[in-house]
Structure 1
Amino acid sequence: MERLGGISAFVEAAEAGGFSAAAERLHLSRSAVGKAIAKLEQRLGVRLFHRTTRTQSLTAEGQLYYESCLRALDEIRTGEALLESGKQEIRGRLRLSMPVVFGRQCVMPLLSELMRQHPQLELDINFSDRRVDLVEDGFDLAIRTGPLPDDPGLMARKVANQAMTVCASPAYLAAYGTPRTPDDLLGHQAILYRRSSDALSWSFPIKGAAPRQVTPPARLKLDDLTSIADAAADGFGLAWLPCWLVRGHVASGRLVRILTDVPALSFGAHVVWPRTQYMPPKLRLMIDTLAERLAPMME
């Protein structure tokens, strides 16, 4: 308890800008706050504040420790909010953004079930393959697939892996043969996914080396994954698509997965949200639900 008291005094002093202001917030004397922080510094073996007769400011070590304390306090507040949420209905509005096809096919069934379980939960959903600015555009949460760039203003949690596969229709394979290696793809027609003006290469992991990038020749380039799957099923060429997207076509026999002995690339799927000191129960519920339920659907 003494340790927690020292941490509480430290955080208040860091946020209030000095010991006197922290003492007012905590209803303690300035001397009590100073002694609590001094004991904390002695225990940690570092100086947390630069002190003058009038001001106190964080040292570099103090800033690092302050950020760690904030993360710990976030978890405590979240735990309290979750306990409180058990006493009342999850309610309120959440704005979400997610990729179009992935969102419609994989995420929406989970969200529909969540809304049935929590009638007071309101969802405002944006389907877009554009990476929105969560803060500027006013979103509470976004789902993103592929590499996730560092952004100090965002928190992230991985919720699934999205494995890729090469596939083609039985008619195409009967007419043109079945590729056995990634290099064989260069002798076939493909249907490529185009983002902006560039068609994305197909990538195959190689242990201990950079992935093998292959761009097969293509008569057809599309910016919609569902249309690519349909075109491949109609025999227009090979396609490189997420396994979850072609599962139904494979089950029905319209598509055949090939190069199954070759290591497949897997993209991470993450939920991201603006960094905050407090996570509302509705946001925690959404993140936990996606983390628990989305991964099995990607297998």
Structure 2
Amino acid sequence: MDLLRAMAVFVSVADTGSFAAAAQAQRLSAVMVGKHVRQLEERLGARLLQRDTRKQRLTEAGAAFLAEARQVLEQVRRAETVTERLGDGARPRGHLRVSAPLTLGTVAIAPLATAYLRAYPDVSLDLALEDRAADLIAEGYDAAIRIGPLPDSDHLVARPLRPYRMMVCAAPSYLRERGTPASPAELIGHSCLNHLLWHPNAGWRFASLGGEALRLHGRFASNHGEALRRAALDGCGIVLQPEVLLADDIAAGRLVPLFEDDLPPPRPVHLLYPRDRQPLPKLSRFIELVMETLGPRE
């Protein structure tokens, strides 16, 4: 039995609430997650999780063990980086793991990561792009970019970045053919490009409509923002997507922005990293680059 691995899996189950979610986070099968937890319980001689058909709940023993397990895993993480701490403190080196949302990560974080690697040749970097809130501690990430409100945490530092603004756009060819809507309410008569991962009842929301959701329809939908962007460029409809994805097309005139004074409210964006009294140079330099590139404008 790999005790440390089993502890990491248990922490992931506790944080995600299910074997299936922990399996995805730990890149294991759900069967292997269950095996690790059972072996840990056998070793400790105590039930750590109360299982039912939908989710796992901590027992009293499990809650007590969870707090200790977090500390042990953090100590192990720090021990693994001791050579980096003892080396040339001014030179970043080692391996960095970063988590980011798919669209923002592809458009903004990936170019930043390659610039970072060019500047620091002794560092390697994994960039995991997925629209899921990865558990930095349990999954061993050094940093993460998050969109939206954050839960309170004593374990993480949150640095604000520029807000995540949405834009409504259409290609000039579409507007010539179908006309330009004068207000969000007129979108009901247009072909709109919807994201498949958005909740069906979420709709598109605008300040002028008092927060009421417009449930709009069109002939094309996708689970990927880049596919929706391409459809908009080809004149297939009106798109609602992040400014960071559409900015170059707007600047080049390939897409025309609509309702610029009546857009959905922007969402907060943060850079998260574990609270550490002495962050490694590889992380410190990455934080500096992210803040310089994506930090709030003064």
Once the two structures are aligned, what percentage of the paired residues are identical?
33
For 2:152 and 2:116, the matched residues in 1 are separated by 30
For 1:291 and 1:140, the matched residues in 2 are separated by 15
- Give yes or no for contact 1:192–1:200 (8 Å, CA) kept in 2: no
The SS at the match of 1:219 is coil
For 2:142 and 2:103, the matched residues in 1 are separated by 20
1:90 corresponds in structure 2 to 92
- Give yes or no for contact 1:97–1:141 (8 Å, CA) kept in 2: yes
More strand, by proportion: 1
- Give yes or no for contact 1:159–1:292 (8 Å, CA) kept in 2: no
CA RMSD of aligned residues (A): 2.7
Whether 1:246 aligns to 2:246 is yes
2:103 corresponds in structure 1 to 101
The SS at the match of 1:211 is coil
Whether 1:110 aligns to 2:112 is yes
For 1:92 and 1:199, the matched residues in 2 are separated by 45
1:169 corresponds in structure 2 to 171
For 1:98 and 1:249, the matched residues in 2 are separated by 23
TM alignment of 1:84-233, pairs within 5 A: 88-195=90-197, 198=200, 200-205=202-207, 211-233=211-233
For 1:284 and 1:263, the matched residues in 2 are separated by 35
For 1:226 and 1:261, the matched residues in 2 are separated by 24
Deviation at 1:196, TM superposition (A): 6.7
* TM-score (norm. length: structure 1): 0.63
With over 3 angstroms needed to count, the CA separation of the structure-2 counterparts of 1:150 and 1:201, relative to structure 1, is farther
With over 3 angstroms needed to count, the CA separation of the structure-2 counterparts of 1:213 and 1:197, relative to structure 1, is closer
Q: Which amino acid aligns with 1:268?
A: P
Q: Which amino acid aligns with 1:102?
A: L
Deviation at 1:197, TM superposition (A): 6.2
Q: Which runs of 5+ in 1 are unaligned?
A: 1-83
- Give yes or no for contact 2:168–2:241 (8 Å, CA) kept in 1: yes
With over 3 angstroms needed to count, the CA separation of the structure-2 counterparts of 1:229 and 1:196, relative to structure 1, is closer
With over 3 angstroms needed to count, the CA separation of the structure-2 counterparts of 1:115 and 1:230, relative to structure 1, is same
The one-character-per-residue Cα deviations of 1:25-80 (angstroms, maximum 9, x if unpaired) are xxxxxxxxxxxxxxxxxxxxxxxxxxxxxxxxxxxxxxxxxxxxxxxxxxxxxxxx
Deviation at 1:211, TM superposition (A): 3.3
* TM-score (norm. length: structure 2): 0.63
Larger Rg: 1
Q: Report how many residues are paired.
A: 212
